[in-house]
């Protein structure tokens, strides 16, 4: 970390106050803050971003350390001490004796006094749901603490334009050391947060920023050239672009979403990608007439359902303060409705992939099990079987279940469902049509 100074500290404090209102996503708060303070140097901007996200990642512990005074200033000071700062470094920003005494006691705080949720940096209701699902306290602690760490930057190579080895070499020439992702055959991982969107590789569509877990979802869909495929909740289109790449820009790929703004964000990415088989379409809801016209016609459908996003806490730590058990109740209703509607698109023998970036069983297995009980014409296909067909050595059981602790990527869940082929009806035998000679 750079040396502490008054200007950077107070700017970070202002940004933290804005983020702690939880009125908007933390990354949006920071973007607005930097726009409003254009004179901040790059070093100060990096410190401010790290400070805000650092406090959000450790807020449950910091609240207990700082109690009863959980002001943003106290939390920021505690975070700095827990990050390894020496007390002497605080001379430029701390003059009060009570603050110096507080800082001296921060490192003596005993984490054993914390609840499981606090130690795991998860809301108590989340820790409780995970316990109720059968997860051990040790596993919950490991999961939560892994989600509280900063994430590396994963890239997906657009193999329609370049090979992974060539991209890796070009990044190295730019001073960016990339390693191949352990599971995705077209992924690269960079440490830190380099601004890859300023590089030619990005602007020419050779790379996209995409977590490795998200890349694996595309492999579960595994679309073929010439097929009809839909990304049912396309958003800004990261997975859509991956599916289009796997289809070699052939066939027809529908990108459905209810948000015009999100689909508008897809357009420049689509232009960079060079894909010509993608058809973005805004729909009013999951029962839109556009959906009904395609019923039973699609080979493969991906449902990346709206969810709590708790599997992305490494990148969006504020989500754990903006989601509640009640908001997940509402999401469950929406998830079930979307999955049932998307299933109508799948033709007999076709594939339906349901996915979330959630760690909660009721957004994942719970939704899938209820769907299968209500739709006997669908079967569960083990995710490990599908990945093995793609030469990916990853077996998490019937479902794809990813965590930062186990696989080094965001928390993802996915289930692969197949629609049973139509059973051919045998023609009646000759005896059934023979005249009744006994009459």
Active site residues: 357
Give helix then strand counts, H and E, for the chain: 21, 12
Rounded distance between C-alpha atoms, residue 243 and residue 166, angstroms? 21
DSSP-derived secondary structure letter, 115: -
For the stretch 57-63, contacts whose Cβ atoms lie closer than 8 Å and that sit 24 or more positions apart, written own/partner, are 57/121, 57/148, 57/149, 57/150, 57/313, 57/317, 58/82, 58/121, 58/148, 59/121, 59/317, 59/321, 60/114, 60/117, 60/118, 60/121, 60/122, 61/111, 61/114, 61/118, 61/119, 61/121
**What are the phi and psi torsion angles at 235 (to 5°)?**
60, -135
Rounded distance between C-alpha atoms, residue 40 and residue 26, angstroms? 18
DSSP bridge partners of 278: 253
- Could you write out the DSSP letters of every residue in 315-341? T-TTHHHH--HHHHHHHHHHHHHHHHH
């Amino acid at each position: 970390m750079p040396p502490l100074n008054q200007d950077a500290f107070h700017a970070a404090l202002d940004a933290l106050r804005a983020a702690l209102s939880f009125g908007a996503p933390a990354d949006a708060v920071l973007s607005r803050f930097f726009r409003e303070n254009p004179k901040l140097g790059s070093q100060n901007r990096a410190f401010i971003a790290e400070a805000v996200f650092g406090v959000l990642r450790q807020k449950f512990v910091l609240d207990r350390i700082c109690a009863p005074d959980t002001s943003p200033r106290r939390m920021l000071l505690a975070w700095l001490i827990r990050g390894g700062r020496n007390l002497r470094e605080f001379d430029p920003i701390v003059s009060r004796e009570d603050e110096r005494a507080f800082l001296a006691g921060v490192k003596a705080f005993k984490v054993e006094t914390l609840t499981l949720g606090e130690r795991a940096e998860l809301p108590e209701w989340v820790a409780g749901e995970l316990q109720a699902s059968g997860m051990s306290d040790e596993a919950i602690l490991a999961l939560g603490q892994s989600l509280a760490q900063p994430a590396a930057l994963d890239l997906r190579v657009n193999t329609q334009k370049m090979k992974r080895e060539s991209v890796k070499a070009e990044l190295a020439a730019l001073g960016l050391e990339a390693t191949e992702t352990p599971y995705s055959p077209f992924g690269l991982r960079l440490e830190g947060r380099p601004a890859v969107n300023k590089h030619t590789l990005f602007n020419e569509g050779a790379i996209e920023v995409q977590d490795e877990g998200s890349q694996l979802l595309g492999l579960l869909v595994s679309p073929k050239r010439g097929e009809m495929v839909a990304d049912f909740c396309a958003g800004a289109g990261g997975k859509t672009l991956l599916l289009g790449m796997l289809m070699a820009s052939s066939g027809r790929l529908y990108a459905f979403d209810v948000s015009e703004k999100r689909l508008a964000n897809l357009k420049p990415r689509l232009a960079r990608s060079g894909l010509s088989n993608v058809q973005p379409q805004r729909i009013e809801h999951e029962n839109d007439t556009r959906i009904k016209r395609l019923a039973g016609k699609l080979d493969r459908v991906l449902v990346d359902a709206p969810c709590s996003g708790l599997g992305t806490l490494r990148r969006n730590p504020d989500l754990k303060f903006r989601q509640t058990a009640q908001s997940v109740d509402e999401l469950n209703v929406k998830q079930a409705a979307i999955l049932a509607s998307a299933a109508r698109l799948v033709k007999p023998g076709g594939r339906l992939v349901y996915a979330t970036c959630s760690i909660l069983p009721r957004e994942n297995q719970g939704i899938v099990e209820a769907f299968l009980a209500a739709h006997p014409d669908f079967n569960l296909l083990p995710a490990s079987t599908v990945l093995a067909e793609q030469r990916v050595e990853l077996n998490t059981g019937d479902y794809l279940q990813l965590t930062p602790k186990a696989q080094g990527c965001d928390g993802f869940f996915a289930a692969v469902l197949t629609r049973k082929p139509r059973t051919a009806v045998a023609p009646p035998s000759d005896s059934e049509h023979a005249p009744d000679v006994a009459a």
